[in-house]
Amino acid sequence: MGNEMFDLTGKVAIVTGAGRGIGRGIALGLADAGADLGLISRTPAEITAVAEEIQGKGGRAETVSVDIADTDRIQETVDAFVDRFGRIDILVNNAGTNIPTDAVDITVEVWNQIMDLNMRALFFLSQAAGKVMMGQDQGGRIINISSIAADSALAKRAAYCASKAGVNLLTRCLALEWAPHNIRVNAVAPTFTVTEMTKKFMKDPSYLDFALKRNLLGRMAEPEDFVGAVVYLASEASSMVTGHILSVDAGWTV
């Protein structure tokens, strides 16, 4: 045993929300581990920049700019990557959104916007990629990016918490059904993380205090802090792990 257990050379990994934040960090980390990357984002300029960074290191990266919340576009997106790479070995469902709102003020529009991306798109992209993996000799790996909010009630985040709790249960359901096809399905649950989406919240001292008060390591997470967990779950190092929610939360949920 050694580093070869974490080697992803020859594998094809698809990452959603890959243009920035946690998704960008994960995409770069998977490329460093040897994988070819398929990058998905609504913003062409962002994933083009990530692709160029990967290519600059000698890796291969292809891009599709699409809003995967539009589930009518999911099959064509998967087909595009299969046409380019010939297979899909790893899917990282990272794209997500959070619209902090008091529970009494959540509208149907806000609720649907969160659920459509965080759960519906995640499920149907997993379904489309899962069908590809079922036809492959080595199956595949699906890794969902969940959150500590799946198990912790957070104010102004009722819809977000519900969506991430749903992600955790979907992870276990898919792991149960797809194990016979050698498809392992797991999730990574990050703690509060410094990203473009959260920087505006962190300007509020009360938010920052709340985020850190149960953090045993005393610092906010950075996107790079989740790379090791994702590479582990994508690699043969975790060959006996499925249906698991791996918390990367600095002890926040203990």
45 DSSP 8-state letter? H
Q: Are 167 and 119 in contact (CB under 8 A)?
A: yes
Q: Give residue 74's Cα distance to chain centre.
A: 16
| Residue 232 annotated to the active site | no
In terms of Cα–Cα distance, which of 129, 93, 130, 113 is closest to 17? 93
Alpha carbons 198 and 202: distance in angstroms, whole number: 6
What phi and psi, each to the nearest 5 degrees, are found at residue 211?
-65, -30
The active-site residue out of 81, 85, 123, 160 is: 160
Pairwise CA distance, residues 169 & 245, whole Å:
10
Q: What one-character DSSP code corresponds to residue 116? A: I
Catalytic residues: 160
